Amino acid sequence: MSDVGDVGPQIIHHDEQLLIVDKPPGLPTTAPTSTEPCLVHWIRERFPHLRLHATSRLDSPVSGLVTFTLTRRANRQLLDARRSGSYERVYMGITVHEVPADEGEWSWPISMDPTNPKRRVAGPGRGEREALTRYRVAARTPSATLLQLLPVTGRTHQLRVHAAKAGAVLFGDSLYQGERRKVLPDGSVVTARRVMLHCARVSFPSPSGAGRASFEAPARADTQKVWLGLGGGLSDLQP
């Protein structure tokens, strides 16, 4: 197994335009108060003079890349890239359910769950917004499926809600009734202590104008352990 541990945030890239950070699971991207731990506060403690704008946010249990712009120009360019579809994010997600097709799209709209403000639902309802997720099967084992998930839109909990609606709820995603334990045919048990979802790659037109910028973050140790336990290989986790 790689030595990528469930350590704190890791700076992947920093220049005048961008700051790319690999966020660990269990840490929110932002927080409503200045006293609550979050990725933005972690960055401001180290770079108090930076003016940050997160171009996307990861749920607290989700790990992986978060891109911050540091100038108005870079922020405008990445917003334009998102609108044009040239801002690409690739997530790796594990489900213990069969996914029949090797690739496809999920296009259910995302609405607020009327029974739980922390949840979203796939389908019409209050706050309904269009949503589109493309997926590819990266690997299969007798016990699980590894998915590459590419969100075209960026709705709250989009990948988690779409996967659950498609019958492929992500392993460990208890908020959406996902299993946290999988008993294998030999009687061994694999446990997911958080939702198995990791933002592994981001790619977009470089704010400097020099082609495309692309950044990757290897799967965290807990994801590696779960996928190996389910019969997969480490090479499967490359985005």
Average pLDDT over residues 117-129: 94
Q: What is the pLDDT of residues 36-61, one digit of tens each?
A: 999 999 999 999 999 999 998 999 99
CA 80 – CA 225 distance, rounded (Å): 38
pLDDT exceeds cutoff 50 at 95: yes
Measure the CA–CA gap between 70 and 57, rounded to whole angstroms: 16
Which amino acid would we find at residue 93?
A: G
In the predicted model, is pLDDT for residue 183 greater than 60? yes
CATH superfamily of 10-237: Pseudouridine synthase (3.30.2350.10)
Mean pLDDT of 206-217: 89
Q: Is the pLDDT of residue 2 over 60?
A: no
Average pLDDT, the chain: 94
- Summarised one tens digit per residue, pLDDT across range 217-229 is 999 999 999 999 9
Is-contact 229 190, C-beta < 8 A? yes
- pLDDT reported for residue 32: 85
Q: How far apart, in whole angstroms, are the C-alpha atoms of residue 199 and residue 195?
A: 12
Enumerate the domain spans of the chain. 10-237
Residue 6 pLDDT class (50, 70, 90 cuts): low
Q: Which of 44, 55, 48, 138 is nearest to 89 (CA)?
A: 55
